[in-house]
Amino acid sequence: MKQRLDEWTKGDNHEYFDRQFKKTYQSTIKFCDWLEQLEVLNRESSCNIMDIGTGKGANLNYMNKRFPNCKFLGLDINKNLVDEGNAYFKNKNINNCKLECGDLYNLDYNRYKNGFEGIISYQTLSWLPEYKKSLSKIIKLNPNWISLTSLFYDGLVDCKIEINEFENPKKKNSFKTSFYNVYSLPRLEYFFKKKGYKSFKSQPFVIDIDLPKPDHTLMHTYTKKLENGERIQISGPLLLNWFFIYAEKK
């Protein structure tokens, strides 16, 4: 299936990307905590890391502060975001974060293959039409490990979810269409094993701050507290099952 790209290349959602430079998402902080716990990265690590679907590179900006000896290359299909992110890094004299424009389904293997110990991707996999083709393309870059955040289910169910948002009930066409796919963790683990990534770990991301309910009924993440004090994350009609996953060759 060919990826529909309108949602990424038209009508840039700059507010979403700029917000993260001002205040790092809780999920990004916890994801980096997890990579440290797994002993994949620490302050002294000096590896080359690629971030797929990097947006403007706000997550790399944060990772650079925590892992200052690593070199980061962010890849995104949206050239405006890439140019703006690079201008930000240049302006701040940050030399080890660089963004490039490219399509993860059409990667330049001459340029990138064997160039990265690790490949990361924040909240992108569930927003693609599927995961097998996209991850196969990434695996062909031959990283030792791949780690990402997305929506997963710890059971044998895959959900293909397409979201259509409407301005009002009379409108025939939605103003925004996007995937919020939820992938089965055991099936993903099996997929990685078949590709030679023998070690697989996952962890639910349980948020520990309140996110207010928006004053509209469109997609926007907010939290609800359960009786046991745990928070669930909701967006529009969906319960967001955020997970971190990590797959390694050894």
What residue ranges bind ligand SAM (CB under 6 A)?
Answer: 3, 8, 20, 53-55, 59, 75-78, 81, 103-105, 122-124, 127
The CB-of-191 to ligand SAM minimum distance in angstroms stands at 19
13: which DSSP letter? Answer: -
Residue closer to ligand SAM (CB basis): 105 or 205: 105
The CB-of-82 to ligand SAM minimum distance in angstroms stands at 9
The CB-of-134 to ligand SAM minimum distance in angstroms stands at 8
Sequence-ordered alpha helix ranges (H) in the chain: 6-9, 14-22, 26-37, 58-66, 79-91, 109-112, 132-139, 185-194
Residue closer to ligand SAM (CB basis): 61 or 184: 61
What is the residue-wise DSSP string for 67-115?
STTSEEEEEES-HHHHHHHHHHHHHTT--SEEEEE--TTS--HHHHTT-
Residue closer to ligand SAM (CB basis): 50 or 104: 104
Distance CA 150, CA 245 (A): 8
Residue closer to ligand SAM (CB basis): 20 or 184: 20
The CB-of-227 to ligand SAM minimum distance in angstroms stands at 31
Structure tokens at 230: 């745990």
The CB-of-58 to ligand SAM minimum distance in angstroms stands at 6
- What phi and psi, each to the nearest 5 degrees, are found at residue 221? -75, 130
Letter string b/e over residues 114-124, b meaning 16 or more CB atoms within 10 A of that residue's CB: eebbbbbbbbb
The CB-of-99 to ligand SAM minimum distance in angstroms stands at 10
Distance CA 163, CA 180 (A): 7
Residue closer to ligand SAM (CB basis): 55 or 118: 55
Residue closer to ligand SAM (CB basis): 55 or 248: 55
Q: Which residue is nearest to ligand SAM (CB)?
A: 53
Distance CA 177, CA 117 (A): 34
